[in-house]
Amino acid sequence: MNNNDILRRLRFTFDFDDAQMMALSSTKDQSVSRAEISNWLRKEDDEGYQSMNDHRLAIFLNNLIDEKRGKREGVEFPHEKNLNNNQIFMKLKIALNLKAEDILDVLALADFTLSKHELSAFFRKEGHKHYRQCKDQVLRNLLQGLQQKYRPDSTPIKTTFQWAKIEKSEDN
């Protein structure tokens, strides 16, 4: 998944308006304009599309943690320059205060099953013998499950994989 897809899904899931998106994407030293947010939210083939880098997504996710959990007094965490799916998963887990059972329930909403042992491997340190890299499919299903949890009345966003499955079943 690319960072722009993650940003779009989180905006939809939590129904953030432009002002909230600008606040979550800004730091105390650098603000983000409505135009930048708009360009990040565009589809890849749209005119004006701008790719969001890992550092900007890290700022957004760290501010989401502060927004949902409360900002710690006197503690300023550095924003990562590079992110992987495991770090994104961890930041969402922290922001939403999710326990292992909660995550498994959210994944079940997206018809995705995972064992507790497989889940815990995503949160281990890289280099640990049981560390496992989080694939795009797992992160995509987490975001889909979060959407169904926080916006149950919304129509699920169809992924390319889901459309292929639907077209295949209609052909039979």
> Alpha-carbon distance 92 to 98, whole Å?
8
- Enter the tokens of residue 27: 């730091």
Residue-level pLDDT at 165:
45
Q: Is 5 left (phi over 0), alpha (psi -120 to 50) or beta?
A: alpha
Which amino acid makes up residue 63? N
Torsion angle in degrees (nearest 10) through CA of 37, 145, 43, 164: 180
Least confident stretch, 43-57, 95-109, 114-128, 150-164: 150-164
Average pLDDT over residues 36-59: 94
Q: Is the pLDDT of residue 161 over 60?
A: no
**Does the predicted model carry a pTM greater than 0.75?**
yes
Domain that holds residue 161: 3-171
Q: Per the structure, how many domains does the chain have?
A: 1
Q: If DSSP codes are grouped into helix, strand and coil, which group holds residue 67? A: helix
Q: What is the pLDDT of residues 59-92, one digit of tens each?
A: 999 999 999 988 777 667 778 899 999 999 999 9
Residue-level pLDDT at 80:
86
Q: Is the pLDDT of residue 105 over 60?
A: yes
